[in-house]
Amino acid sequence: MTYGLKLARRIVSRPALSGWAGAELAPGPDIRSDDELLDYIHRTHNTVYHPSCTVKMGADDDPSAPLDARLRVKGVEGLRVADGSVMPDLISVNPCITTMMIGEKCADMLKEDA
């Protein structure tokens, strides 16, 4: 992230953007060192996206899938993941309702497995 902030500053400082770029509002031109930038990042960052596909479910023999088809974490007893991270691939619509249905399905599987 610190590299990204420095890169953004370099890009915006190019002559081709001089007519478009205004003053840096945040973190501000006085924040220069990696430590200062990292502090700013820790205090202000968040995601505006719907994180997904980071802990995908898959077949038992799929080494790239940390979850089995019933959303259980492989090798960990009693732990399941039921959010957008379980999707093996990005979907083409807003993932909100899909994620809610993953939670509903997981609740059903928990009842079945009890």
Q: Which residues are catalytic?
A: 50
Residue in the block written with tokens 């309702």: 97
Answer whether 39's CB lies under 8 Å from 46's CB: no
Token code pair at residue 18: 């001089």
Q: What is the DSSP string of 15-60?
A: GGGTTT-----SS-TT--SHHHHHHHHHHH----S---SSS-B--T
